[in-house]
Each structure stands twice: as structure tokens, then as C-alpha cells.
Amino acid sequence: MSAPFWRSLLGWGGPCCRFHPTCSDYAIQSIRIHGAWRGLIPSLKRFSRCHPWGGAGFDPVEETS
């Protein structure tokens, strides 16, 4: 899938995302590294933490899982 598609689908956080990389960039990287199914799980976990009480900061995609 193309990056513009994912950005339109997952880019709800916009430039004010609490994490770095942004949640949409994290999902793209995770799916590229781990494939569609294995990359979806960490992406959903990240989205579930993206709320005012869910923390913030640097949270890179793990290379191996």
C-alpha cells in the first residue's frame, strides 16, 4: 500500500502526535518491517496508547519481535 493511503487512513494525530515517530509513521514502518499481519499488532497497541493519559516520547519500531 502506498504511503499517502496510510497517511490519510492513519494520520489522525497530525503534527501534534504525542509520540515520535508519529503514530501513522510508526504504523507504516512496522508494516514495512514485519509485514501486514505482524506489523498491525504493534500499530494497534501504539494507537491504543495515543490518548492524554497514555504517555509520550520517543517510541521506535522494534526491529525484531
Which residues face 57 on adjacent strands? Answer: 19
Beta pairing class for 19-20 and 57-58: parallel
pLDDT in tens, 11-60: 554 557 888 999 999 999 999 999 999 999 999 999 999 888 888 899 99
- Break the chain into its structural domains and give their ranges: 19-43
Residue 58 phi/psi, 5-degree rounding, is: -80, 125
- Reading the block at residue 41, the C-alpha cell is 499488532
With bands split at pLDDT 50, 70 and 90, how would you rate the model's confidence at 64?
confident
What is the pLDDT, as a whole number, of residue 8? 63
